[in-house]
Structure 1
């Protein structure tokens, strides 16, 4: 279990420094999304209380996503983040918008349909 968390952390940190992404066609690159959401990592990995910086980062990302293409790009970035996460980590990640008082048009999961 600890090795799985370490692997997930390494994956997320690697994605944070990745200059290009799955959603590189969008105006908002994934590395921007990952950097803004980095404060959420502690909650995603272990639950507890959501860091206010996490909520702030999520609000920043949502504020940047003005167009449909941007929103689809952000969705693809989130989908790529959870692709190798554990079910518990995905459950925690999916709770963040609600816990931060934010409304996003999808539930964070491995099966997000970003085309809509």
Structure 2
């Protein structure tokens, strides 16, 4: 329940922080699509991501069509990861491949989101 409250709070925060009209994809979209992945990324989800997580990852990949969208996804994932303790970045980096998705960026805190194309 505390995790759900944190996700809801993060979605609300991101919807306020992300100005309207600056990107087709918002941080709220990113958080809502990846919320089912949190337990897995904290090493609490077993050795396979849940189906809801992979559905969200695939949807997010489909929605991130432009460079601006992909940079938004990158920044939002980095911000969201800071809000949760115990994130295993090895699992985060392997998540797209485990869900059958190819992404043009390495998902970790050191990624320069401005260089994402």
Q: TM-score range by the shorter chain?
A: 0.7 to 0.9
Instruction: Say whether 1:29 aligns with 2:17.
Output: no
Question: Normalization by structure 1: what TM-score?
Answer: 0.78
Structure 2: 5+ residue runs without aligned partners?
none
Look up the SS of the partner of 1:83 in the other structure. Answer: helix
Off by >6 Å, runs of 4+ in structure 1: 7-10
Q: 1:20 aligns with which of 16, 21, 27?
A: 16
Structure 1: 5+ residue runs without aligned partners?
1-6
Task: Give how far 1:21 is off.
Answer: 3.5
How many residue pairs were aligned? 111
Partner residue of 1:108?
Answer: 107
Cα distance in 2 for residues equivalent to 1:36 and 1:88: 17
CA contact (8 A) 2:81 2:87 kept: no
Change beyond 3 A, Cα 1:88–1:72 = closer
Question: Normalization by structure 2: what TM-score?
Answer: 0.77
